[in-house]
Amino acid sequence: MTSMAHLSAESDIKIPASATRGKLQAIPQDWLRVSEACAYCRCSRPKLYDLLNRGLVKSVSLKERGQIKGTRLVSFHSLKAFLESRATGGLES
Q: Rounded to an integer, what distance in angstroms lies between the CA atom of residue 64 and that of residue 37?
A: 23
Q: What is the pLDDT of residue 91?
A: 77
Is 16 inside a domain boundary?
A: yes
Concatenating the DSSP letter of every residue in 11-59 gives S--EEEGGGGTT------SSEEEHHHHHHHHT--HHHHHHHHHTTSS-E
Is 60 inside a domain boundary?
A: yes
Question: Structure pTM?
Answer: 0.67
The string of pLDDT tens digits covering residues 46-90 is 999 999 999 999 999 999 999 999 999 999 999 999 999 999 987
Q: Rounded to an integer, what distance in angstroms lies between the CA atom of residue 70 and that of residue 61?
A: 6
CATH of the domain at 69: 1.10.1660
Is 91 inside a domain boundary?
A: no
Is 51 inside a domain boundary?
A: yes
